[in-house]
A and B are shown apart, each in its own frame.
Chain A
Amino acid sequence: MANKAGKGRKIAAALGVAVFWLLIWQLLALLVGREVVLSPPLTVFKTLGEMVQEGSFWLALGASLLRILAGFALGVLLGAALGLLTAFCRPLRVLFSPFMSVVKATPVASFIILLLFFMGNQWIPVLIAALMVMPIIWAGVMKGIEETDRGLLEMGRVFELGWGWQLRHIYGPSVKAFFRPAALTALGLSWKAGIAAEVLAAPEHSLGGMLYRAKIYLENPRMLALTLCVILISMGLELLLKKLLQGSGGQETSLSSGGAK
């Protein structure tokens, strides 16, 4: 009962916050007074309502999701693999650390412009998303391995537990703890950077391409409706990933086989 009341209060508070910011938006739109510069919320919602009835919107949305999520997955795989390698091999860490620093510090636009010379515009958002994700996951995995309980590692050594077993049961929980926040940060970043890459590379069927066209045709309500859509999808993806990572974080209670070498 108390739980239900608490949930109700939370929803009411969230609605209150949403209404507050919508009023600020409305006020700003009134102050600007030109729809072509800043459309009011109602106009944007109406445009969004019309947009979701267009088949091309759903095609663009699906293609953007596919590209950016593929990039995210690629970035996670590369970042995790490199994180594992560099955590256990010092020369590799020395070799890759400056590369990761450069990737993190380079503006997304520079990467996009550079990549335009090398590959088709369909692939650029994939690679940009991967590049945004890789250093974050790499750092998370490295930190997880570095922070692994030394006492448990010594126990593994004394009990002659296999490397794979130690990786799963000793390093694994520590890496998971650092991987979760890293993956959540990386997902949001890859989505934003992927859309930015679509704006500049303008691949066929893409939300970024639609945003670009809305900008050049001065369709402000459409531009804001697309932005709203990008924000909502980002929030949805984050929520989904949180659920997925919670599911994978369950405690291990059974072993198929022993771990000794």
Chain B
Amino acid sequence: MIRLEHVSKSYESKRVFQDLNAAFSLNQSYLLTGASGAGKTTLLRLLAGLEEPESGRIIRPEGLRIRLVFQEDRLLPGLNVRNNVILEKGGAEKAQALLEELGLGPEAGALPESLSGGMKRRVALARALCASPDVLLLDEPFNGLDEAWRRRAAALIFREMAGKCVICATHYPEEMTPYAHERIGLD
């Protein structure tokens, strides 16, 4: 379980969270909803450990592998697609399989700059899945993907993350709804 206890967070003068309490089970999937600026990205960044709360605390089990698909692709421009996906030791076979499933097999040796926006997004997804995380945080993972790819990507995410925790913020909730155990509104 990951727990947020009395968490407050603000950016400059804007308060994003005030005394937020939440708990995420490590074997369930969550869909974060809310208008732009409601704090979805901030919550994911807090859970990933990229931000510290001003007050309150976040309790995570020791050694938990948390990976985040950022809103931007954040691929390394000097590494080819395969190496962008592997990043961690011994993931070559898994990386190749994920790339094939995401329709990027032929692009494995290409550099990110030669890919379309949708392809880059799929590489970012493959990278996070290849790391076999215990918790997968997704910040608008389907940006730039058409409906067919959104469906295929969602199915792949939940097959790979079966029995683990997925927390997803997306403007395309319909693709994630069949898989999410709980919907959390941040408005």
Contacts and interface: CB of A to CB of B under 8 A. Distances in A.
Interface of A: 151-152, 154-155, 157-159, 161, 169-170, 172-173, 251-255, 257-260
Contacts of B91: 258
B88 A253 contact: no
A251 B50 contact: no
Interface of B: 48-50, 66-68, 70, 72, 74, 76-80, 83, 86-91, 109, 111, 127, 131
Contacts of B77: 173
Contacts of A252: 78-79, 83
Nearest to A176: B78
Given A157-B50, A169-B78, A253-B80, A151 B89 contact: no
B70 A151 contact: yes
Contacts of B49: 157-158
A253 B74 contact: no
B87 A254 contact: no
Contacts of A255: 79, 83, 86
Q: Is the interface of B mostly helix, strand, loop or mixed?
A: loop
A152 B76 contact: yes
Nearest to A150: B74
B70 A259 contact: no
B87 A154 contact: no
A170 B76 contact: yes
Given A173-B78, A253-B111, 9 more contacts: A151-B70, A151-B74, A154-B74, A158-B50, A158-B66, A251-B78, A258-B87, A259-B87, A259-B88
Nearest to A260: B88
Contacts of A254: 80, 83
A169 B50 contact: no
Contacts of A172: 78
A251 B77 CA distance: 9
Given A169-B76, A253-B109, A258 B88 contact: yes
A192 to B, nearest CB: 34
A152 B79 CA distance: 13
B87 A260 contact: yes
Contacts of A258: 86-91
Given A161-B87, A254-B83, A255-B86, A154 B78 contact: no
A113 B109 CA distance: 57
Contact of B87 (A151, A157, A159, A173): A159
A161 B72 CA distance: 19
B111 A251 contact: yes
22 contacts: A151-B72, A152-B74, A152-B76, A158-B49, A159-B127, A169-B76, A169-B79, A173-B78, A252-B79, A253-B79, A253-B109, A255-B79, A255-B83, A255-B86, A258-B86, A258-B87, A258-B88, A258-B91, A259-B87, A260-B87, A260-B88, A260-B131
A152 B87 CA distance: 13
Nearest to A261: B88
